[in-house]
Amino acid sequence: MATFSSTLFLLHISSCFLLSCCSPDISPDNDGGGGGGRKGLVPALFIFGDSLIDNGNNNNLASLAKANYYPYGIDFADGPTGRFSNGYTIVDEIASLLGLPLIPAYSEASGKGLLHGVNYASAAAGILDDTGRNFLARIPFNEQIKNFESTLNQISTNLSVDAVGQSIADSILYIGMGSNDYLNNYLMPNYDTRSRYNPTQFSDLLIQHYYHQLTSLYNLGARKFVLAGLGSLGCVPNILALNMLLQCSEEIDKSLILPFNRKMKLMVDRLNYNFPSARFTYIDNYHMFMDIINNPETYGFHVINSGCCGIGRNNGQLTCLPYETPCPNREQYVFWDAFHPTEKTNVIMAKKAFRGGDDVVYPINIEQLVNLKLI
């Protein structure tokens, strides 16, 4: 149930926020896109997740999970901002496709910077609060939701209830959580999670928490949700580095990732049934990503089993070190470092999520979600 305070937040969103979808954008980006001068398709984009889409929220934390140093951001206009990529993340491209400027990190957003949305994602964060503790400070999903509630308070001013509700309902929430709950929890030797839960029980636990967290966002007024399924963990350079043949680990994907994704898709059906005034859509990142891995030349890639920068075998044992020299031919690499895709991979996947068929985005794609008129 929505709290009294959160109801007040929904009664007082700024008129600028409501009208931002009609306002010209002047925010720069690195390819001339990002909404410069275009009419936004939605009022705002709010982002929740982990290092795949973090854009600087960990920079000022006492965290070991940071990317605010060169060569991260080598192909990004503002340099190393905290993005775990050489350039765009998937949500940067989605913002551009929505006609919005690049969405600011919660740690830096204030005033007019809040008008088109906020990115709350934090490297090492998970669905479970305990996930990622090896990296010290991080912002779990539960705390990201509280930060979203705080944002609604920050941009508050007098406005009609109907106008506020419509503005929030028309905005997109992108949520990409769960990878760290496996990589930096279930698979970590210093966690007792595997002794307490078998894979089926653990995925059930994650889905149970996830459902309640999404319900909290619904109670704050959100109505259009994009939920990113997990990509392959068995094919990331870090896992490949453990295999002398540099082959994907089918065991990790088949026993952990694919069962979680199947339950997540069922959760989307359940959410759409239980909340008919909202719409939840699921991005099948796993199959999109595996199509790239299995058909790299179709997408112009030549290196699928190594990071463009990093340390150790196939640049996969550690992420990029400060001032390390990355590969010069970044357009040919699927992976930027031991865990994260290159900008090129991110852009390809974002475009598929935005306009793809129900084989990769279920039940509707992001463009259809934008145009959907909800009750």
Instruction: Say which of 51, 167, 203, 232 is annotated catalytic.
Output: 51
Distance CA(26)–CA(11), nearest Å, equals 28
Is 340 among the catalytic positions?
Answer: yes
Angle made by CA atoms 272, 277, 279, in degrees to the nearest 5:
45
| DSSP characters over 331-356 | GGEEESSSS-B-HHHHHHHHHHHHH-
Distance CA(147)–CA(153), nearest Å, equals 10
Is 51 among the catalytic positions?
Answer: yes
- Cα-to-chain-centroid distance, residue 258: 18
Is 269 among the catalytic positions?
Answer: no
| 359 close to 339: Cβ distance less than 8 angstroms | no
CA-to-CA dists, residue 92 to 55, 129, 204, 251, 269, angstroms: 9, 26, 31, 32, 27
Distance CA(48)–CA(137), nearest Å, equals 17
Distance CA(373)–CA(169), nearest Å, equals 10
Structural tokens at position 56: 């600087």
Distance CA(270)–CA(107), nearest Å, equals 33
How many H helices and E strands in the chain? Answer: 14, 7
Q: Report which residue type is found at 55.
A: N
Active-site residue numbers? Answer: 51, 337, 340
